[in-house]
Structure 1
């Protein structure tokens, strides 16, 4: 697998460490391509952190990074013409074995937390006070597995193993353990899973192409959705006053009734191949099969 790296804003880092936030989006690079950048000033330059509205400064005492193995369900878009190979990653669930690392101005670094998988969530590193919370499970983002006639949130740990996750203790099935975060999980053989895919729910909101990344009912029982733009029209995203989460990432909470051109697909990576290659050739992900989901 290819080790990828992305800088996270202070707000996103806090969300990972405190709330157990398990999503990411935005510009990413291969860790090997930027291994020379070992201080906040160097990371500011190589990650292009001087964008309008940026919370970063080259004089920052520290910068936090996500380092993760490129996972087959992650969908990238190639960004040509940058100083190092660069990709834009659409809103995705964080893949297993991701690390949250803090890089200091003296060139040292410290592991803050690691993300085991959807079953265990984030765990603080030794010496880091407190334990992260737990984000709500969502089938809008991340792998889903069909196991024993039920659909469950899942992660693919390797070619042979899938982890299944439940928010509450199972009523009928046995073999689930409760993680320290409170979530219930079970490891099963890949051969026990009859379907494995990620839902891809896309739409348009006021003409802007978006991905629906969460849905729920508000206090008045209206269905609302969190949308994340798909990266093809940032000017329109700004004109529509979506929140700029970070460079190239715009999101908003809207009424589901305002969405048009809704399309729901099952995204199945071919053979669960890796994303960007380890060579100088740049691509934005593995080939996919799209199946209509009803």
Structure 2
């Protein structure tokens, strides 16, 4: 899959280690003919109101990634090139951040290993990306040794576990250059594997809760990302437009209504007999209530 990222998002990935994405995506194979910023401007529809892009830009940055089973898309009809809207998600393993120049050349800027290692700058790119904070509201979570940890599924047999701090009672964790602690374990060692899907309404707008923390006064605040079904209301509520179709805000958790928490379990993650991996761009899910 391929997604154009704004200059601000590209900076956040490359400098701050930001590991999230949301918005409109296409299959890379469908737009392989678009090799310049002007062509990418057209095929990705970058002329939306308030866009930071111009057809005359010297370069455009892209995320290229293999679709993962937990990513949830909504089909966007009416376009010659098949288009999907992706809800706020953690970037999947082996994602690349690529810069495409006006002469048709391109350059790898960084790659995202997984939740354990984060971003790594490509050779010749100065600096090492920082490390974003972990959030159990977005991305896979694994139950291992009776504890729930942020995780990524690397293949059918391997899961990587991640911790912000060194474990107190477990051995076998390594520290990545970014500072995060991680360990590869066999899929069979993980008793549960799912992604939390915490949805709510804020002033009538359907949102996904993507982060939660306490402010200085110890009030619980939440970062919310709209679910893409009512952009007019998102505009009226003055949410921050991150890019086309993506609106987010930080609000008090007490302002949220109709809270629902589910475990999203792609069929390829479910325990039981081995299943054939889903190759479509919207794998089936099992939704389980979680309390």
TM-score (norm 2): 0.96
Distance 1:160 1:273 in 2: 13
Q: Which moved more, 1:249-258 or 1:279-288?
A: 279-288
Gaps of 5+ in 1: none
Q: 2-side partners of 1:67 and 1:148: how far apart?
A: 34
CA distance in structure 2 between the aligned counterparts of 1:276 and 1:65, rounded to whole angstroms: 37
Distance 1:30 1:132 in 2: 27
**C-alpha offsets along residues 119-176 of structure 1, whole Å, 9 cap, x if unaligned?**
0000000000000000001100000000000000000000000000000000010000
Which has the bigger relative contact order, CA under 8 A and spacing at least 6?
A: 1
Please tell me whether the aligned partners of residues 72 and 275 of structure 1 are also in contact (alpha carbons under 8 angstroms): no
Q: Could you tell me how far 1:273 is from its partner in structure 2?
A: 10
Structure 2 contact 100–107 (Cα < 8 Å) conserved: yes
Superposition deviation, residue 280 in structure 1 = 19
Does the C-alpha gap of structure 1 residues 228 and 278 become closer, same or farther in structure 2, counting only changes over 3 Å? farther
In the TM superposition, what is the alpha-carbon distance from 1:42 to its structure 2 partner? Answer: 0.1
Deviating beyond 6 angstroms after TM superposition, the runs of 4 or more aligned structure 1 residues are: 273-283
Q: CA RMSD in A?
A: 3.2
Matched residues in 2 for 1:99 and 1:281: separation?
A: 22
Is the 1:78–1:282 contact (alpha carbons within 8 Å) kept by the matching residues of 2? no
Q: Note if 1:63 corresponds to 2:22.
A: no
Compared CA separation, residues 8 and 142, structure 1 to 2 (3 A): same
CA displacement, residues 169-215 of structure 1 (integer Å, 9 cap, x when unaligned): 00010000000000000000000000000000000000000000000
Question: Does structure 2 retain, via aligned residues, the 8 Å contact 1:70–1:276?
Answer: no
SS at match of 2:221: strand
Given candidates 173, 178, 193, the residue that maps to 1:176 is: 173
Q: C-alpha distance in 1, partners of 2:278/2:215?
A: 46
Contact kept? 2:268, 2:276, Cα under 8 Å? no
Counterpart of 1:276 in structure 2 is 273
